[in-house]
């Protein structure tokens, strides 16, 4: 019933969007209404990205599913065409009379304007990214999309899946052409990136069509579709196998044949500085992800200060533990001297069997169950902190094994807008013995509730805002909120033991160290090895996790800086409100204001909160 209410509340906006998506190819000129323009811009985005349309499921409630047979156009020409559309939409947006807009419309105009402007500013760096990378490259993301995002509820969905398999060859060829285009502009991934991609491509090709995950995973999902007759399932699996054998595997063979030449062009240098106009590119990437004008130097210094501050909190908890606190001295710590780095001490603690799960299939199930139990335990405590809560549920699932090696320790997938699936907290189980129990709580609070899921699902369920504001991403806001949620849980007793509290600080110092490492790599010309060494000494993370994280920062310049910048901004706004309002400060109301407008650039979030503070101070 609650899901039905949610869909009904959004029906008007979704109908308008559905009509706009179909009208996009025939619409020219300037819409008479700013509200119509918001819808058209978002519809254009969806028209160009059928995979996003599939993920959001905004058209399926109206029986519109043709987009589910298509993949995104990954060609150089499509990227250039989209960049021109951004510039044209920005010009059109600025043609509307701001004085004639309501306050709500002005906020929407400013959000859309910021989004379009940052993309327009990034046009000189349109081809500075790495379409082939170990973290989110086409070679892993396309299979992941088909297996985990493409719907599979009936025969038509299955036929669409097979059609998308048939389109994978063209997508890989477009990707190869795009990488060649970048290489001609002296934008080549570091050597280790190409080597990781080669390993992933070889693993995907191994075993032939019958063993390929796009066939086996499809068959497993089809087996759960009760409406399909056995002979229909067999026909569809055979059709998928035929496409994998005739289209998909040959495309991956072409990719495998291309990569040695790319590796020969690659170097050991890893920072964005090495590319043409590399410093300007990194400055843009920092603005894009942090939504601020902070320089690399400022962010680096901020990271060093935060690491030292958090280390002081960690040392206090270490003394509590070693001085006869809630848990006794661990045997694994006996060999660690008082002079050892906090990183060495934490890694020793993480090896203690009392904190670890069995490294087998049963242990992996225990990890997933433990994460889910933390969500179930946290949920009843949320009404004390939030006036607004989402209707969409969240569940825990394993990161697909084929992408575990290059994936982060965890990530979140939002629910579709039609409410047909929950939000998913994906946990990486590549090495269960590197998942200590005392770090699980804060990771769950970050990815699920009160972190990503709470924020994203609330945004998706907002009424009275243009639909683009329910889904538009701003890294600093989204990741800043999730990191703020970790701190909020720590402040409000969600961690029952000193070790759990220490786990929360381990996660926070890890984000602070990111500020240092990301700017070190991309602005100060650190090597990959320097970055790994810094993370090992200062975070206590296992070496395999540190390596994966540093390699992630290499292929996503600036993104890792968004977490701490966003969190500190929200904390500063909270203290500003508390100081101004005194006894009238209401934490639940503050959270509702921060979450009540969807994702925002930090400067616009500050404006929204300041306006609320003044209204509250005036008693309105």
Reported confidence tier of residue 9, pLDDT bands at 50, 70, 90: very low
HSE value, Cβ hemisphere, 13 Å, CA-based, for 265: 14
Of 11-20, 61-70, 438-447, 455-464, which range is least confident? Answer: 11-20
Angle at 606 between CA 601 and CA 609, to 5 degrees: 125
Tell me: pLDDT of 45 over 50: yes
Q: What is the dihedral of CA 343, 346, 352, 354, to 10 degrees?
A: -150
- Residue 476: CB partners within 8 Å, gap ≥ 6? 289, 290, 291, 292, 562, 565, 566, 569, 601, 602
318 shares its domain with 229? no
263 and 294: one domain? no
Backbone φ and ψ of 269, nearest 5°: -70, 135
The C-alpha atoms of residue 113 and residue 119 are separated, in whole angstroms, by: 10
Classify residue 246 by its DSSP letter. I
**pLDDT-wise least confident of 12-26, 380-394, 586-600:** 12-26
pLDDT tens-digit readout, 527-585:
999 999 999 999 988 888 899 999 999 999 999 999 999 999 999 999 999 999 999 99
- Answer whether residue 2 is part of any domain: no
Is residue 100 domain-shared with residue 199, that is, in the same domain?
yes
Tell me whether residue 17 is in a domain.
Answer: no
268 and 179 in a common domain: yes
The residue ranking higher by pLDDT, 30 or 2, is 30
Alpha-carbon gap, residue 44 to 542, rounded angstroms: 44
What per-residue confidence (pLDDT) applies to 8? 32
Task: State whether 246 and 162 are in the same domain.
Answer: yes
Give the model's confidence band at 4: pLDDT under 50 very low, under 70 low, under 90 confident, else very high: very low
Last residue of a domain, one of 281, 316, 345: 281
Do the domain assignments include residue 3?
A: no
Residue 607 vs residue 401, higher pLDDT: 607
pLDDT band at 426, cuts 50/70/90? very high
**Amino acid 319: pLDDT:** 84
Identify whether 104 is part of a domain. yes
* Residue-wise pLDDT tens digits, 224-261: 999 999 999 999 999 999 999 999 999 999 999 999 99
Q: If pLDDT is split at 50, 70 and 90, which confidence band does 11 have? A: very low
How far is it, in rounded angstroms, from Cα 162 to Cα 238?
A: 10
Kindly indicate the confidence band of residue 279, based on its pLDDT and cuts at 50, 70 and 90.
very high
- Between strands 394-398 and 410-413, the pairing is unpaired
What CA–CA distance (Å, rounded) separates 119 from 90? 10
Query: What angle, rounded to 10 degrees, do the helices at 296-322 and 342-350 form?
Result: 60
Both 188 and 240 in one domain: the answer is yes
- Cα–Cα distance between 210 and 212 in angstroms, integer? 6
CA–CA distance, 147 with 166 (Å, rounded to integer)? 15
Going by DSSP bridges, is the β-strand pair 423-427/394-398 parallel, antiparallel, or unpaired? Answer: parallel
Let me know whether 370 and 251 are in one domain.
no
Closest CA to 130 of 90, 171, 175: 175
Round to whole Å and give the CA distance between 478 and 481.
Answer: 5
Residue 617 forms part of a structural domain:
no
49 occurs within a structural domain: no
Helical ranges in 122-212 per DSSP H: 138-148, 155-184, 191-205, 208-211
State how many domains the chain has: 2
Query: Which range of residues forms the domain containing residue 245?
Result: 54-281
Note whether 301 and 165 are same-domain residues.
Answer: no
Q: Tell me, what's the pLDDT at 28?
A: 56
How do beta strands 410-413 and 423-427 pair? antiparallel
Distance CA 330, CA 318 (A): 12
The reply to whether 429 and 346 lie within a common domain is yes
The pLDDT of residue 12 is 47
CA gap 146, 222 in Å, rounded: 13
- Banded pLDDT at 433 (limits 50, 70, 90): confident
21, 52, 70, 533 from 49: Cα distances, Å: 11, 5, 9, 40
Per-residue pLDDT, 7: 30
Alpha helix ranges (H) inside 428-581: 440-447, 452-460, 468-471, 475-491, 498-522, 528-539, 543-555, 562-581
pLDDT, residue 601, reads: 98
Report the chain's mean pLDDT, rounded to a whole number: 92
| Residue 10 pLDDT | 44
175-218 pLDDT per residue, tens: 999 999 999 999 999 999 999 999 999 999 999 999 999 999 99
Based on the fold, state whether residues 492 and 425 are members of the same structural domain. yes
In a domain, 595, yes or no: no
Lowest mean pLDDT among 365-379, 429-443, 588-602: 429-443
What pLDDT is attached to residue 431? 86
My answer on whether 249 and 118 are in the same domain is yes
* Winning range, highest mean pLDDT, from 10-19, 229-238, 400-409: 229-238
Q: What is the pTM of this model?
A: 0.91
List pLDDT tens digits, range 88-146. Answer: 999 999 999 999 999 999 999 999 999 999 999 999 999 999 999 999 999 999 999 99
Residues 365 and 330 in one domain: yes
**Domain for residue 249, yes or no?**
yes
Q: What angle do CA 604, 54, 240 make, to 5 degrees?
A: 150
């Amino acid at each position: 019933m609650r899901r039905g209410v949610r869909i009904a509340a959004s029906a008007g906006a979704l109908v308008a969007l559905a009509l706009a998506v179909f009208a996009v190819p025939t619409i020219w000129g300037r819409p008479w209404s700013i509200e119509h323009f918001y819808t058209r811009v978002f519809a254009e985005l969806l028209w160009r990205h059928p995979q996003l349309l599939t993920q959001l499921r905004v058209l399926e409630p109206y029986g519109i599913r043709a987009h589910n047979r298509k993949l995104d156009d990954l060609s150089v020409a499509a990227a250039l065409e989209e960049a021109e559309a951004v510039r044209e939409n920005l010009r059109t947006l600025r043609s509307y009379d701001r004085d004639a807009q309501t306050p709500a419309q002005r906020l929407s105009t400013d959000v859309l304007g910021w989004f379009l402007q940052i993309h327009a500013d990034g046009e000189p760096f349109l081809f500075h990214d790495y379409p082939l990378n170990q973290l989110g490259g086409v070679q892993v993301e396309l299979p992941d999309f088909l297996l985990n995002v493409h719907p599979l509820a009936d025969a038509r969905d299955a036929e669409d899946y097979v059609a998308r398999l048939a389109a994978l060859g063209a997508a890989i060829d477009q990707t190869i052409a795009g990488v060649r285009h970048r290489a001609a502009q002296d934008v080549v991934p570091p050597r280790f990136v190409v080597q990781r991609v080669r390993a992933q491509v070889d693993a995907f090709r191994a075993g032939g069509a019958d063993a390929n995950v796009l066939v086996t995973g499809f068959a497993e999902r089809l087996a759960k579709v009760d409406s399909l007759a056995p002979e229909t399932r067999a026909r569809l699996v055979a059709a998928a196998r035929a496409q994998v054998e005739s289209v998909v595997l040959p495309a991956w063979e072409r990719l495998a044949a291309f990569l040695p030449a790319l590796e020969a062009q690659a170097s050991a240098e890893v920072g964005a500085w090495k590319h043409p106009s590399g410093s300007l590119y990194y400055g843009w990437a920092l603005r894009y992800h942090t939504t601020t004008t902070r320089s690399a130097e400022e962010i680096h210094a901020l990271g060093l200060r935060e690491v030292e501050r958090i280390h002081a909190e960690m040392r206090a908890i270490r003394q509590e533990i070693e001085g006869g606190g809630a848990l006794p001295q661990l045997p694994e710590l006996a060999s660690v001297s008082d002079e050892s780095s906090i990183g060495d001490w934490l890694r020793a603690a993480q090896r203690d069997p009392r904190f670890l799960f069995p490294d087998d299939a049963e242990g992996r199930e225990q990890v997933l169950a433990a994460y889910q139990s933390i969500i179930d335990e946290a949920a009843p405590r949320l009404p004390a902190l939030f006036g607004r809560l989402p209707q969409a549920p969240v569940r825990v699932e394993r990161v697909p094994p084929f992408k575990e090696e290059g994936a982060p320790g965890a990530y979140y997938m939002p629910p579709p807008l039609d409410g047909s699936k929950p939000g998913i907290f994906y946990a990486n189980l590549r090495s269960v013995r590197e998942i200590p129990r005392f770090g699980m709580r804060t990771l769950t609070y970050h990815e699920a509730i009160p972190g990503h899921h709470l924020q994203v699902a609330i945004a998706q369920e907002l009424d009275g805002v243009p639909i683009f504001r329910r889904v538009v991403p701003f890294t600093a806001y989204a990741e800043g909120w999730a990191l703020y949620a970790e701190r909020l849980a720590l402040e409000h007793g969600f961690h029952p033991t000193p070790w759990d509290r220490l786990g929360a600080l381990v996660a926070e110092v890890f984000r602070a160290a990111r500020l240092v490492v990301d700017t070190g790599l991309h602005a100060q010309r650190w090597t990959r090895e320097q970055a790994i060494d810094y993370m090992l000494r200062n975070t206590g993370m296992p070496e395999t996790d540190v390596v994966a994280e540093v390699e992630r920062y290499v292929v996503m310049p600036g993104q890792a800086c968004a977490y701490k910048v966003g969190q500190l901004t929200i904390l500063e706004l909270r203290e500003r409100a508390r100081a101004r309002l005194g006894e009238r400060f209401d934490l639940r109301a503050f959270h509702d204001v921060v979450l009540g407008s969807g994702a925002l650039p930090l400067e616009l979030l500050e404006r929204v909160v300041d306006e609320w503070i003044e209204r509250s101070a005036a008693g309105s």
